[in-house]
Amino acid sequence: MLRSIITGFAVATVVLGAPVMSATASENTAKVTLVYEHELPNVPGKSIKGILVEYGPGGSSEAHTHPTSAFIYATVLEGSIRSQVNDGPVKVYHAGENFSEMPGDRHGVSANGSKTKPAKLLAVFVVDTKEKGLTFPIKK
């Protein structure tokens, strides 16, 4: 059931084409698309937002954080994703596997685990409704 829901969101992304930000200038940069957004009826002031992240072969995102109100649950839809949250180890997640990020976490590594195949990830945010920006680069 979850797989069909996730697949439906991925299809909706292609049909709706609602980019949050689209960095398609380079194969090495992630394409990020808002798939859905809905206010939670039983949690005033909170929304759920689905974000599809697509990496070309060898692609990655810069180190970043998210709003301090955000809890994120990410599922790899295709390929493999290298990820590091805070000072934890760099882990590789494969299609069907998932991980989470707590409010205030730093996402130091977010990259395609393959140099030759694409990868996709669905990140589901539970976040304050008023939040418009969902990703903020970490200044070095």
Which residue range(s) make up the domain with 39?
Answer: 2-137
Which range among 39-48, 71-80, 82-91, 131-140 shows the weakest confidence by mean pLDDT? 131-140
Number of domains forming the structure of the chain: 1
Q: Residue range 55-80: average pLDDT?
A: 95
> Is the per-residue pLDDT at 3 higher than 60?
no
| Alpha carbon distance 41, 56 (integer Å) | 36
pTM of the predicted protein model: 0.78
> Is the per-residue pLDDT at 115 higher than 50?
yes
Q: For the beta carbon of residue 18, count every other beta carbon within 10 angstroms.
A: 13
Strand 64-65 and strand 60-61: pairing? unpaired
- Nearest one of 22, 51, 23, 59 to 35, comparing CA atoms: 51
CATH number, residue 62: 2.60.120.10
Mean pLDDT of the chain: 84
Instruction: Provide the 8-state DSSP code for 103.
Output: T
Q: What pLDDT score does 136 carry?
A: 87
Q: What pLDDT score does 28 carry?
A: 76
